[in-house]
Structure 1
Amino acid sequence: MGTHTISRSTASRSGEAVWNTAFLVVCAVVLAGLVTKLQQEFLPSALSTQVGHNSEVWALVLALGTGMFMLERTEATGTSRIPVLLVCLACLGLAAAVYWLGTPPTVKTLNEPLLGAGLLIGYLCLPRPLPRAVPWLITGIVAGVIVVWSQVTFVFLQAESMTALLVAPLAFDVMTSPARRTPKASAGRVTAWLSLLILLPALALASGDLRTEGGFAPDLVDYLARGAEGFWGVALLQLYVVLRRARSSAPIHSPTQVSKGAE
């Protein structure tokens, strides 16, 4: 019984590692294509421009996903989190570098998802379970910053990182859980949540002239539109994690559970 449990757990981790790697490679390829404007070779001009504006989605998913999947591995094997924290610091360093070192616009714009990913990887490294109020508190603080200071230069320029920080605590600690913990919400609630993450910024983008009228509400709608990629990046990563878990028929065991099974 113990050997069977261990082999299933090991096989499950190996299968997840393959899927995670493939997912990140796809994200990296798409991001590289958008940064180099490869889409201009085969897409109509207007569509190419619009698609190119979404490179931040893939940068956020690539950076945050790398940290998250490494964290899964460390929790499954009981190894040190130092490599994950190094990824966190690397994201923050890259965010500063691409912004301050005179990089091309298609690269400079990635400072937002890199900053957001670095901060969120640090958040995911906090010991779990967190007090139930913590993700709501963080989301509330970020929401307050957006509402009060959305027109302050730094907050305005970091719209995509701010929106990711706004929704990720709820995405990964209320709807689903980071690393290898069991999802906390029903499939219906998760579906509704993902729909909200996709549709809310889409509606803000479609608001047209409302965004240019000035005033509190138009400014807030404009900010949500500017931060659309933060919403969509979190949604894409969460959707992948949900689908990956759904396809896995083998239960995921912690090292403690495996040890008990072996006994």
Structure 2
Amino acid sequence: MSLFARSLIFYGVLTVALLALVTKAHALVLPAGLASQVGHNSEALLFALLVCAEVQFFRPWARRTARPWFWTVLVAAVMFLAAYLLLHSGWTSTLVTLNEPIFGAALVLLYVMVPRPFRLAPVVSIVVLAFVVVAFDTALVLDQAESLVPFMLAPLAFDVFDRTILEPEQPDRPSLRVLWIVLLLAVGLTFMLLAPWAREDLQGWLRYGIDYGQRASEAYWGWVLVHVYFGYVLGARWRRAAPEGARTSSVDQA
């Protein structure tokens, strides 16, 4: 199957699934309990759609232009504005909640345009984590868990565990990718299991941390979808046929 066909199927399936969750059509075919649980994952689907499109289409295009950062900042600003307007739109909650993956994907867009190799990637994750801890009581941190946590994971995803997404010329390390996917799933499931206990008496840094980690659970599922797409749906085809703009070039060294 061609790269185009694989991409079309992936984006098509995720888009249909997202529309089903937003319109609550999934509740017509799933049991009530399962439908409620699945319905909370629309943010993961939109985040994966946006990040995959940023890497596969926008990044190569922008890096072929004379002013890649101009277009990057412009698109990110439009996404930030869209997220803000959606948050204050007064629309149904199934739509308003999508402001978080849009905001998070805008942050990731800025990150993916940083020249590679990027040796300070883990530092970025540490800085974001420190910001969340220090400013934990602010509205920004509390309301944007599904934006900040996905962004915090981006350096680990792109520059530690699965470098071939942004640097297709790098050696593929499938075992490292699998380890990262397993870690994401384990963290997400652990927070899910511990959240009811934490919320029984929401006091202390441990319970607050578990509650916050659970609120950001869509970040883990979203990143799993990103890695599955580039690592397995596209797989070696991405590493062989990635557009020139996706590869290390003189733009990165400028």
**TM-score over 0.5 (shorter chain):** yes
Q: Deviations over 1:197-241 (max 9, x none)?
A: 111021111012134431011111111100000121112112211
TM-score by length of 2: 0.84
Which runs of 5 or more residues in structure 2 are unaligned? 248-254
How many pairs were matched up? 241
> In structure 1, how many angstroms separate the alpha carbons of the residues matched to 2:71 and 2:53?
11
Q: Deviations over 1:46-80 (max 9, x none)?
A: 111111111100110112222111145427x9346
- Which residue matches 1:104? 92
> In structure 1, how many angstroms separate the alpha carbons of the residues matched to 2:171 and 2:238?
18
> In structure 2, how many angstroms separate the alpha carbons of the residues matched to 1:54 and 1:63?
15
Q: What letter is aligned with 1:113?
A: P
Of residues 162, 177, 187 in structure 2, which corresponds to 1:200? 187
> Does 1:92 find its partner at 2:80?
yes
> In structure 2, how many angstroms separate the alpha carbons of the residues matched to 1:150 and 1:234?
23
- Which residue matches 2:214? 225
> Does 1:174 find its partner at 2:160?
yes
- Which residue matches 1:8? none
Distance 1:173 1:99, change over 3 A: same
- Which residue matches 2:114? 126
Identity of aligned residues (%): 27
Deviation at 1:190, TM superposition (A): 1.4
Deviation at 1:249, TM superposition (A): 9.1
Distance 1:185 1:216, change over 3 A: farther
Which stretch has the larger CA shift, 189-198 or 148-157?
148-157
> In structure 1, how many angstroms separate the alpha carbons of the residues matched to 2:60 and 2:243?
11
> In structure 1, how many angstroms separate the alpha carbons of the residues matched to 2:211 and 2:34?
21
> In structure 1, how many angstroms separate the alpha carbons of the residues matched to 2:4 and 2:167?
13
Q: What letter is aligned with 1:53?
A: H
Of residues 54, 60, 65 in structure 1, which corresponds to 2:41? 54
> Does 1:26 find its partner at 2:13?
yes
Of residues 157, 161, 164 in structure 1, which corresponds to 2:147? 161
Q: Deviations over 1:153-196 (max 9, x none)?
A: 22011111111011111101122234452356622221111111
> Does 1:239 find its partner at 2:225?
no
Counterpart secondary structure, 1:47: helix
Contact 2:100 2:147 in 1 (8 A): yes
Distance 1:170 1:16, change over 3 A: same
Distance 1:125 1:255, change over 3 A: closer
TM-score by length of 1: 0.81
- Which residue matches 2:126? 140
Q: Note the 1:180-191 alignment, pairs <5 A.
A: 180-183=167-170, 186-191=173-178
Show structure 1 runs of 4+ deviating over 6 A: none
> In structure 2, how many angstroms separate the alpha carbons of the residues matched to 1:189 and 1:64?
20
Counterpart secondary structure, 2:43: helix
Deviation at 1:123, TM superposition (A): 1.1
Which runs of 5 or more residues in structure 1 are unaligned? 1-11, 258-263
Contact 2:230 2:238 in 1 (8 A): no
Contact 1:72 1:180 in 2 (8 A): no
Q: Which has the larger radius of gyration?
A: 1
Distance 1:250 1:115, change over 3 A: closer
Q: What letter is aligned with 1:152?
A: T
Deviation at 1:251, TM superposition (A): 3.0
> In structure 1, how many angstroms separate the alpha carbons of the residues matched to 2:3 and 2:244?
16
